[in-house]
Amino acid sequence: MSRLWNLTEFGFHADRVNHYETLFTVGNGYLGTRGSFEEGHPDSIAATLVNGVYDHADGMLVPELANFPNWIPFAITVDGTPFKVVTSTTDLMKPPEGVIFGYERTLDLKEGILRRAVLFRAASGNVVRVIFERFASLSDVHVMAQRVIITAVDGAPEIAIRAGVHGNSMNATALHWNDDVQVISTDEEIGIGATTRQSGYSMGVAARLTGPHPATASATGLILDLETRFSLEQEQTVTFDKLVGIFSSRDTDENPLDAARAKALRASEIGYDALRAAHVAEWAKYWDTADIVIEGDDECQLAIRFTTYHVLIASPRHDENVSVPAKTLSGFGYKGHVFWDTELFTLPLTTLTHPSIARNLLMYRYHRLEGARHKAKANGYEGAMYPWESTDTGEETTPQWSDVQPDGSRIRIWTGDNEQHISTDITYAIQQYWRFTGDDDFYTRYGAEIVLDTAVFWGSRAEEKNGRYELSQQIGPDEYHENIDNSVFVNRMVVWHLSTALNALSWLRAHAPADAARLTSQLDLTEARLAKWQDIIQRMYIPFDAEKGIHVQFPGFFDMEFIPVPKYQPRVTSVQAILSHARSIQTQVIKQADVVMLMALLGESVGAPGGADVKTVMRNNWDTYFPRCDHGSSLSPAMHAWVAARLGLLDEAYDQFHHAAHIDLADNKGNVRDGIHAAACGGVWQAVVFGFAGLHIADNGALALDARLPAHWRQISFSVNYRGEIKRFTVTNPR
């Protein structure tokens, strides 16, 4: 049913302009364009973000994605009355020049097409229906297409249109572009080319307009338009197509503006309908394996297609030097930086459904190994230590201080210094990719080097003291507690990492001896170093309370102030925001899944020191930490859903899943205006496949299920690309 594929805004919501701009982003892995109105809006945050085009502007603490020229402007006047929706939230009481009688906007998730239909009456009394349609081509990522259909519903109006490429949005957040801008403005085409100030990337955006009436060009500074005027008879319809090409110097050796002009010309020759058909056909290929069908829950069916859509439009198809920003390409949140969100949350979806995309994402990390080595050396360690936040260079780009707080202070940000588990998160993603794809070529040439060199880092980072190995000054997933000693998440995952590295080297020696010899020499994998890894594995301190039968998040955690998190309801913010940063870090309030995240990643192999029953320990862990978690991060609910499902706590699992699936749709964090929560989107997919369906690789190497579905779900179906073969699963609820 189409309604299970269509996200619809029925009636204009003036108070949610930026929210819907984010939700209705169109993209193709190369770029993302927010769902801003073609005619503009005073409250709009218009943006087209091209993956990898970062710039470190003067006065900014860290680099960010640079905003490209706005390719969607399409202004319409009807008998001299400007076509527009309510001007702003502050103008609701003012009499409009024209009247909106009907408004509906729909994002077709299946086809990747955004449509908006508006019934508009001009001051003259004439009524028109305007339909806008746009897409960022999935079949040719350098093409964007826009169609505008105008119908005279009542009367014979005079229409004027201006279809533009506007450069005034390029510097929405900072001055990223040099002043020597190239401008193309003829009656056939318009275009803008520019170069970033610090990073030196060049870009070009060019557009052509096709329709029944000839256009003339106009240019005012960087506001370029193609204009035309015409009359409509009653019930007459007219259609205009604007076809756009876009390039950066990252993806072409020629002048990007020249490449964009050539692409726009070729697109106009092919025509909108053919471009649209190719785009839709390409989407069908991606949905064939990425779609999850839920029978018995229409609300969550639409939600999981929405979250999957946003992972797919942010994931690079043809570029192994970019990744998925934490806020995708749908907004300026986190300045377009890449975190662990990619490897542990969004990448698994592509690993299991479109492994070529997952390989690109992992190659992004491989190409930035030098940056990780620089960071390790700068901090006095060996090997490769990946940055907490990454951009195009691979160097650490985490700001050291927050933005100014309401009281004028700034908060020190320690994640770039001490949230070091990201090196293991990347290794986990590599191992998962290799196990599910069997891509030995990637592993021997690239993946194993990351696994081993990050292990070298941990071997130099672990501290031998108190008759054991410890890790001081760490930040685990629970970022409320900074610079702690012996995070159980970090310590246990380092044991897993070093064990994995030793197994990787053994496998290489047996199956790829030349690569084993190369990496042994290159990374100085001496017998003494390997012996130390084994010693760390055996003697790493894993905080555990044998009496309570739980893993201890870190020593001293339970000495802190206990806050009854479940009692802080209803709330629309984190408990930390209620308590203040200074107080919350001295409490047992947890930001997101930490010990629970450890159980999600390792399952029963998380272990239970002292011979305790691991199933009992895992349930004890849940009962201890779930009530203390305020889910201050969007990453948290999906991981809790996954673990709760495996523990058989299906009511709790569904509640957490529903929350995760609607974080953006319902704006549960109140910040969707800044962009989609990529990790939450990827986590939702994992909660279904790894959690409710219980997908895993059995001891015999075959895929197996251990399904535990919510009571009202009749059935789920999904597909997995396992070692080059598509496996399709359907799970029926026995209840």
Which residues participate in catalysis according to the annotation? 479
- End-to-end CA distance of the chain, in Å? 25
Which of 733, 732, 725 has the alpha carbon at shortest distance from 289?
725
Is the bond into 157 cis (omega within 30 degrees of 0)?
Answer: no
Which of 46, 41, 44, 37 has the alpha carbon at shortest distance from 117?
37
* H-helix segments, 105-148: none
Query: What is the b/e burial string over 416-428, where b = at least 16 CB atoms within 10 angstroms of the residue's CB?
Result: bbbbbbbbbbbbb
Which of 234, 133, 218 has the alpha carbon at shortest distance from 183?
218
Say if residues 132 and 74 touch (Cβ distance below 8 Å): yes
Give Cβ neighbours of residue 710 (< 8 Å, ≥ 6 apart).
297, 650, 653, 654, 657, 692
Strands 182-185 and 26-27: unpaired
CA 485 to CA 692: how far, in whole Å? 34
* H-helix segments, 51-180: none
Say if residues 607 and 591 touch (Cβ distance below 8 Å): no
Instruction: Measure CA 665 to chain center.
Output: 15
Say if residues 144 and 33 touch (Cβ distance below 8 Å): yes
* DSSP class per residue in 253-317: SS-HHHHHHHHHHHHHHH-HHHHHHHHHHHHHHHHHHH--EEES-HHHHHHHHHHHHHHHHHS-S
Say if residues 563 and 574 touch (Cβ distance below 8 Å): no
* Residue with the two structure tokens 């056939």: 188
Say if residues 273 and 149 touch (Cβ distance below 8 Å): no
